[in-house]
Chains A and B, each alone.
Chain A
Amino acid sequence: MTNFFFALVGRTVRLSLGAGGGAFVGLIFFLSVVAVVPFGVGPDMKLLARIGPAMLWIAALLATLLGLDRLFQDDRDDGSLDQFMLSGLPLELVVLAKAIGHWLATGLPLVLGAPVFGLILGMEAQAIGLVTLTLLIGTPALIFIGTIGAALITALRRGGLLVAILVLPFTIPVLIFGVSTITAATTTGMPVMNPMLILVALTMASAVIGPVAGAAALRAGMD
């Protein structure tokens, strides 16, 4: 049973990193958004450094939503989802395994890329460190919340953009507390721990709610 769970995590990672998997598209999209911002706001280093953390977070949020639509749809189309349901592993854990695999393939590269992109925006060392840390804590929450949307549109054809529209409003708390952790340290001088602990709480809560709600959505879509 646990073997199947870890095998499913591993397979999700492999399929995501393989040809047509789309793991790197998210990272390149992340880079593109960050690289375009200085052209838009102009070469004001101070301004860039100030809005940098927010830009990185928004870019990471969009990049995360980009790859979610095929999370369960491919499995439904080729019959794998039927087999998952008969595998003996509760569907909630199947969803959790898929979400973890998806984070390892698409979320983790964003976290690792964030320090490099922070340099592009002229951010200070402390801000770069905090962006990386908050993304590490916060991107799992984005994926777990997104999993619910991905499960909901599984039965639909061409639901790609629909996931982003459905999920985006629910990710706003994660965005708020992710960015406010950084600004608390760099500009306002407020305590860092308070917003960061709320971010941790959001991730932990969504790690439970995401798989349960996602499994319910998949079951409802089987009819």
Chain B
Amino acid sequence: MNKRQTRLSAETIAVSRGGRTIFEQVSFTLGAGEMLAVTGANGSGKSTLLRAVASLLPLAEGTIRFEHPGRDDATTAENVHYFGHLDGLKPGLSVRDNLALWAKFAGRAGLPAIEALEQVELDHLDDLPAGYLSAGQKRRASLARLLVVQRPIWLLDEPTSALDSRSEAIFGDLLAQHLGEGGLALAATHRPLPVESRATLALGAA
């Protein structure tokens, strides 16, 4: 991976939902190993920005470009891990079975499922139906999804919510490791992040 050329840039993007402009004139550039913290009051569009970067929401204006040598064919959507409010876990399936589907995502293969669960300290619960997990454990199971397939951009929406201090430290280590390997991250948060961010993007209240 060529660190210098990996770049995620957004130019004067705007998103509107239901005819109302959530934010406009937002621009940022992010290189390999860098993290951008997105801050702002409730309803200022932090989650919307992350969903727009993940191409889950259409842009009203502007462009988002991701330059990543070696994987020219992949779209931005295939380069991002979206770690949002919803965990994407099926309560009836075991943690391991839940993870098995996410491991088949497009992208470079990452850790085997059981090792990813060891990283988030859930390996002892891998055959428990996900519905029995606590909120923080669900969050960690969802975090394991980011490890089974390697994708360069992590989009983190309130990543540390529901995590205890120990889990938060684990998350900090994983994030630092991801950035250290040349990954990128966008994190929307109210609380201080366990890893130093390169820049802060403050969104005004809508």
The interface of chain A, by Cβ under 8 A from chain B, is 1, 3-4, 7-8, 11, 14-15, 18-21, 77-80, 82-83, 85-89, 222-223
Contacts and interface: CB of A to CB of B under 8 A. Distances in A.
A86 B80 contact: yes
A86 B77 contact: yes
Nearest to B101: A7
Contact of B104 (A7, A20, A78, A80): A7
A15 B107 CA distance: 26
B142 to A, nearest CB: 8
B82 interface: yes
Query: Interface size class for chain B?
Result: 20 to 34
Given A18-B92, A79-B88, 18 more contacts: A7-B100, A11-B101, A15-B90, A15-B93, A77-B86, A79-B87, A80-B90, A82-B54, A82-B84, A83-B88, A83-B105, A86-B81, A87-B104, A87-B105, A87-B106, A222-B56, A222-B57, A223-B17
Given A1-B106, A7-B104, A20-B92, A86 B78 contact: yes
B86 A14 contact: no
B57 A88 contact: no
A15 B74 CA distance: 31
Interface string B47-66: 00001001011100000000
A80 B88 contact: yes
- The 4 tightest CB contacts between A and B, nearest first, are A88-B106, A79-B86, A4-B104, A79-B88
Contacts of A14: 93, 97
B4 interface: no
Contacts of A19: 92
Given A15-B93, A86-B54, A223-B18, A79 B85 contact: yes
A1 B149 CA distance: 13
B112 to A, nearest CB: 15
B59 to A, nearest CB: 12
Contacts of A80: 88, 90
B107 A82 contact: no
A120 B117 CA distance: 52
A223 B55 CA distance: 11
B58 A11 contact: no
B61 to A, nearest CB: 16
B205 to A, nearest CB: 22
A4 B105 contact: yes
A223 B58 contact: yes
A223 B18 CA distance: 7
A83 B84 CA distance: 10
Interface in B92-130: 92-93, 97, 100-102, 104-107
Given A3-B104, A14-B93, A15-B93, A223 B57 contact: yes
Given A79-B84, A79-B87, A222-B56, A88 B92 contact: no
B30 interface: no
B86 A88 contact: no
